[in-house]
Amino acid sequence: MTEKYIGKRLTRNEDPRLLTGQALFVDDVEIPGMLHAAFLRSDYAHARLRSINVSAARSRPGVVAVYTAEDMGDAWQPGPPLVSPPPTVEDIVFHSRTQVPLVKDKVRLAGEPLAVVIAESRYVAEDALDDIVVELEPLGAVVDLEKALEPDAPLVHDDLEFNLAAHLIQEKGDYAAAREKADLIIRRRIVIDRGTAAAMENRGIVAHWDEKSQQLTLWDTTQAPIPIRNGLAGMFGLSTHQVRVIAPFVGGGFGPKIMMFCPEEVVLTWATLQLGRPIKWIEDRRENFYATNQERGQVHDAELALTHDGRILGLRDDFIHDTGAYDPYGLTVPLNTQCHAFGPYAIPTYYGDLKVVFTNRPIVSPLRGAGRPQGVFVIERLLDVAAKKLGIDKVEIRKRNLLPPDVFPYDNKIIDQAFVSLVYDSGNYRPVLEKAAAMIGYDRFLSEEQPRLRAEGRHVGIGIVSFIETTGIGPYEGARVTVETSGKVSAATGVGTQGQGHFTSFAQIVADQLGVSPRDVNLVTGDTSEFHWGTGTFASRGAVVAGNAVNAAALTVRAKILKLASKVLEVPEEKLELEDGRVRVTGVPQQSISLGELAVLANPLRGAVEPGTEPGLEATAYFGPKYGATASGSHAMILEVDPETMMIEIRRYVLVEDCGTVINPLIVEGQLHGGVALGIGNSYYEQLMYDENGQLLNASFADYLIPTASEVPRVEIGHEETPSPLNPLGNKGVGEGGCIPVPAVFAQALEDALADYAIEILEVPMSPDKLFELLQGKGKEQ
Amino acid sequence: MKIEGEYIFNGPREDVWELVRDPDVLVTALPGAKDLNQVGENEYEGEMNVRIGPVAGFFSGRIVVSDEVPPESYTLSVEGKGNPGFAKGTGRVQLIEQGDGTTLMRYEGEMQIGGRLAGVGQRLIDTASKSMIRQGLETLNQALQARVAARSEGKEEGAYKPPSEAEFATAVAKDMAGEMLSSARTRMILIAIAVAIVIIIVAVVLISTGGGN
């Protein structure tokens, strides 16, 4: 029997290159004659640009050019909206205001670029920034989400009457009537604040317009090379064949790198077109804090209506979402929040009033989790409060509300981020929750361990939550699979790669179809000259959408192989099998031909090719799901806190994930580990602190704390597999799942650990200071 | 950021008033400061090259004196900006005669800080500003005592030698370390984000009745 690779814990094909420093990152690109760019950024969050004088900077030796918005002429245009406003909801308000390449009239966030210096070296470029004289008239800043909507608030966009970017009401059933019938109403104000992705590699671009070949090449840390190529070609009047965008290895995407188009992409492209010389810009860490997109700021007024036995009758979730100074990403993030507040539960009625506000802070676009952690935090916190009030166990109240396995596909009857009805394709939530409870020893902890620890005066608590995650959304991805004459296989796809293990997972898919070793499958990814069509790496969709495209292409190549081999070996196709890089006659292993030989025969130098056949053992295929595949999971945590120092220790972390078919458990678990680490940061460490003037107060890793190895526990992982019916591989995305429920499970465990203080955690990120304040006045008898 | 504090000068109020209206003396209390130039009746501009820790660069500031009640009080508006960011604030300074030959200076104000100063230096701003103000005032007090002593000996000028930039920085660092230890702050990275604070010192100590030399 042929060896199957899907489901195997295969070490990653890309790791030898990455670990020995042989992988190409944008900053590794060196071209003779290359120039370097540095951006002058505003120190003010909100200010009118009165004047800008760059003449001294231009005359500094080594400076090649200095550009402002005025210099760009007609090329200066606000960026395109990335996601069109939702068309399907009545009475929707949506004001599209997109980012600009360089500030022309008004600064709307601290860090917005005012000018760019192009010089022979980065040193010279940075020195020349000091030569630029800028006159900015500071304006009052909009920072607080609720104050943003007050009538006397300063306006981020002067042409709007208010700072309201969008307003949308979604309803399912009659929430008001359900509320009337409820035995218990839980209403809470819940606040979630911003964090940054803190990718190991900051953004970077090398833009090179070659006059002679009339080719523009852009090495870019983008998550979406093909849309960047298409967009830049359109902006600058080039054919897409003249533009090649290469997203080489990227040290972490996490969402912000899907931003299209960040000002730097447009400015560098325009500048290389002016100068005809390659230009490099590598973002430094401080720029990353100020100028790279962020996420998560929301203020919820949420209400859950329940029966006396803990069954949900309805959910109301009114919230304000901070979109930052611009809203190129439309409603993607807050719609995800609305949808994920439904969780894996049967919620018969819903009312949600969503207001999106402009603030003088960096642009908000999806950041790993993309609105989902907020929605999960809201529903899980409300359930926890309800469980406490009703005296129902935390696992039990969840079980009572989980959707049963026979309801799928299940339509939640509200629209999701793709503006179609939120449908869960498949799921089986109870075994996932039960497995997580069993793995962490939930019952034993409550009955034996916790009482013993409490008797010792220790504060140790347990948390357990469930969630769903919409993944693998369309529109589509494509792939081309080719058997080379060497017998090795190459596969090309349009998605970029930022550490997801595509080189291995996709190779496993091809290997299973073609009977080759995954080590002999070479993947090409993120280079628009290698694959022409696609969208990008986001929304936990790579393995689902691109993975199934790879599968479809490999399947077609397999058919071509069998057809040709059948002719060559003079044996019917049904009697052939693919194994070890050869086509063999079943039962007659000595009668065989290698894939390499077949590839030569498939592309003959002489003779006639039969009409209707294509040369080579190659196929291109596309895959687009009807709608997203719904992954699910349960996370559980045992946490100890010292109410004197507010220091915490996560003693155990268990998660059970159902992402359908697992292609490579090692990679899936790596994704989950990373996700949990981010989630822990979002829970207790990572908060961007802004003052009332929109100044970021912790713009370095000395003050913005990301969890390190000492804060991240060993994560114990269990899998359940409910295959998605929407794609042949049956898989679902898992790139974000690790981080999504962490703040919710953290808050529950922390509350449980401090049960004698009777606190409610209704805000994340928490921090030692905030916990200290919360415990003040709630102290038990000392 | 709120700034407030008190300092006792060992000298009579008129002398303190005279001292703090003398830009030449003030510059000596601000290491790294170039001169302070009068640009209007009650308006001064100064420049300062600051190079401490990760926050380094050129800073230019403008100071406006108003609501002057010699020799009792005045209001300062300060605006400074440069590569390290910007600072903007107003403060009220009072000189109160103690009756024992000393003068109490009381100052309070609001400061707004932005850019790298705020983003990278936030953690130390409070401590650093207090320390630098204290050291600056210490320097002025020494100058004052030198003047007073010189006068009692019947000389024209005191033989006062201001501290070098390095001496000043050392004193600030020591002061900050003490402050941080005593307030149980755990991290002792003495980066000094003090540009804005230096400007504050200028502000706090500068005085003008419109006639400085």
Could you tell me if A284 lies within 8 Å of chain B, comparing CB atoms?
Answer: no
Residue A154, pLDDT above cutoff 90: yes
CA distance B120 to chain A (A): 6
- Neighbouring CB atoms inside 10 A of B14's CB total 13
A696 shares contact with chain B (CB less than 8 Å): yes
Max mean pLDDT range (A87-91, A311-315, B37-41)? A311-315
Answer whether A190's CB lies under 8 Å from A245's CB. Answer: no
Nearest to A649 by CA among A458, A466, A779, A433: A458
Q: Is B147 a residue whose pLDDT tops 50? A: yes
Indicate which of B81, B122, B123, B186 best probes the interface with A, i.e. most A CBs within 10 Å of its own CB. B122
Inter-chain CB proximity B83 and A130 less than 8 Å: yes
pLDDT at res. A654: 98
Inspect the interface and report whether the beta carbons of A695 and B123 lie closer than 8 Å: no
Three-state DSSP at A107 gives: strand
Whole-complex ipTM: 0.75
Q: Does A459 have pLDDT greater than 70?
A: yes
Residue numbers in B near A289 (CB within 8 A): 119
3-state DSSP helix/strand/coil % of chain B, to nearest 5: 40, 35, 25
The type of residue at A664 is N
Give A-chain residues touching B58 at CB under 8 angstroms: 130
In which band, very low, low, confident or very high, does the pLDDT at B188 lie, cut at 50, 70 and 90? very low
Distance from CA of B109 to the nearest CA of A (A): 17
Q: What mean pLDDT, rounded, does chain A reach? A: 95
Tell me, what's the pLDDT at B205?
Answer: 53
φ and ψ at residue A771, rounded to 5 degrees: -65, -40
Provide the β-strand partners of residue A303.
A187, A316
A702 and B187 in contact by Cβ < 8 A? yes
DSSP string, A530-581: T------S-TT-IIIIIHHHHHHHHHHHHHHHHHHHHHHHTS-GGGEEEETT
Residues B68-93 have a mean pLDDT of 87
* Nearest chain A alpha carbon to B189: A702
The CB density around residue A603, as the number of other CB atoms within 10 Å, is 14
Q: Report percent pLDDT > 70 for chain A.
A: 98
pTM for this entry? 0.91
- Given a contact cutoff of 8 angstroms between Cβ atoms, the answer to whether B154 and B163 are in contact is no
Q: Are B209 and B69 in contact (CB under 8 A)?
A: no
Instruction: Report residue B146's pLDDT band, with 50, 70 and 90 as the boundaries.
Output: confident
Instruction: Please indicate whether residue B57 or residue A566 has the higher confidence score (pLDDT).
Output: A566
- Cα angle A353, A358, A364; round to 5: 90
pLDDT surpassing 70 at residue A237 = yes
State the pLDDT at residue A579: 93
Mean pLDDT of the region A521-550: 92
Summarised one tens digit per residue, pLDDT across range A727-736 is 999 999 999 9
Average of pLDDT values for A337-347? 98
Predicted local confidence at residue B213, as pLDDT = 37
* Res A80: pLDDT: 85
- Predicted confidence (pLDDT) at residue B169 exceeds the cutoff of 90: no
Q: Are strands A763-764 and A184-192 parallel, antiparallel or unpaired?
A: parallel
What percentage of chain B carries pLDDT values higher than 70? 69
CA atoms of A695 and B117, how far apart (whole Å) = 10
Give the H/E segment covering residue A672: helix A665-680
Structure tokens at A372: 């989902």
User: How far apart are alpha carbons A467 and A737 in whole angstroms?
Assistant: 9
- Does pLDDT of A638 surpass 90? yes
The DSSP output letter for A615 is S
Chain B contact residues (CB < 8 Å to A): 57-58, 81, 83, 85-86, 88, 112-116, 118-120, 122-123, 187, 189
Closest alpha carbon to A250 in A526, A472, A534, A493: A526
Q: The tokens of B144 are what? A: 């004052």
Residue B150 has a pLDDT of 83
Beta bridge partners of A317: A302
**Stronger pLDDT, A256 or B47, i.e. the higher one:** A256
Q: Which of B120, B123, B187, B195 to mutate to test the interface with A (most CBs of A within 10 A)?
A: B120
Our measurement of the distance from residue A615's CA atom to the centroid of its chain's CA atoms, rounded to an integer in Å, reads: 39
Residue B140, pLDDT above cutoff 70: yes
pLDDT in tens, A29-49: 999 999 999 999 999 999 999
CB atoms within 10 A of CB A615: 9
Percent pLDDT > 90 in chain A is 91
Confidence of residue A781 (pLDDT cuts 50, 70, 90): very low
pLDDT of residue A780: 56
- From A196-200, A680-684, B175-179, the region with the lowest mean pLDDT: B175-179
Q: Is the Cβ–Cβ distance between A89 and A415 less than 8 Å? A: yes
What pLDDT is attached to residue B36? 77
pLDDT band (50, 70, 90) for residue B65: confident
Give the CA distances from residue A616 to residues A452, A519, A533, A553, in Å, rounded to whole numbers and listed in that order: 70, 21, 21, 13
Residue A467 buriedness (CB in 10 A; 0-12 / 13-18 / 19+): buried
A696 contacts in B (CB within 8 Å)? 118-119
Kindly tell me if the per-residue pLDDT of A769 is higher than 90.
Answer: yes
- Residue A440: phi and psi, rounded to 5, are -90, -5
What spatial distance separates the first Cα and last Cα of chain A, rounded to whole Å?
A: 69
Cβ within 8 Å, pair A290-B88: no
How do beta strands A648-658 and A629-641 pair?
A: antiparallel
* B52/chain A closest Cα distance in angstroms: 17
* Residue A436 dihedral angles phi and psi, to the nearest 5°: -60, -40
Q: Are A573 and A501 in contact, with CB atoms under 8 Å apart? A: no
Spell out which residues of chain B touch residue A44, defining contact as CB-CB under 8 Å: 86, 114
Q: Which pair of tokens denotes residue B61?
A: 């500031």
What gap in Å lies between CA B136 and CA B61, rounded to an integer? 17
Closest partner CB to A703 (pick from B58, B114, B123): B123
Q: What percent of chain B has pLDDT over 90?
A: 12
Is residue A199 a contact partner of residue A253, using CB atoms and an 8 Å limit?
yes
- Between CA B192 and CA B187 the distance in angstroms is 13
Separation CA A224–CA A219 (nearest Å): 12
- Specify which residues A646 forms β-bridges with: none
In contact, A39 and A284? CB cutoff 8 Å: no
- Mean pLDDT to the nearest integer, A341-350: 98
- For residue A509, the SS3 value is helix
Residue from the list A129, A693, A698 with its beta carbon closest to the beta carbon of B114 = A693
B91 class by beta-carbon count within 10 Å (0-12 exposed, 13-18 middle, 19+ buried): buried
CB-CB under 8 Å, A43 with B86: yes
**Are A359 and A325 spatial neighbours (Cβ–Cβ below 8 Å)?**
yes
Residue A129 in this model has a pLDDT that exceeds 60: yes
Write the CB contacts of A213 (distance below 8 Å, at least 6 apart in sequence): none
pLDDT for res B3: 83
Q: Is the pLDDT of residue B186 over 50?
A: no
Residue A187, pLDDT > 50, answer: yes
pLDDT for A167 equals 95
Instruction: Tell me what the pLDDT averaged over chain B comes to.
Output: 74
CB contact under 8 A, A702 and B88: no
C-alpha R_g of chain B? 16
Residue A335 CB partners (closer than 8 Å, separation 6+): A86, A354, A371, A415, A416, A417
Q: Which pLDDT score, from 0 to 100, does residue A540 have?
A: 86
The predicted-structure confidence for A563-596, as pLDDT tens digits, reads as follows 999 999 999 999 999 999 999 999 998 899 999 9
B184 contacts: CB under 8 Å, gap ≥ 6: none
- Test B118 with A702 for CB contact under 8 angstroms: no
Question: What is the pLDDT confidence band of residue B197, given thresholds at 50, 70 and 90?
Answer: low
Average pLDDT over residues B27-40: 73
* Residues found in chain B: 213
User: What average pLDDT does this structure show over A515-538?
Assistant: 93
CA nearest to B84 within chain A = A43
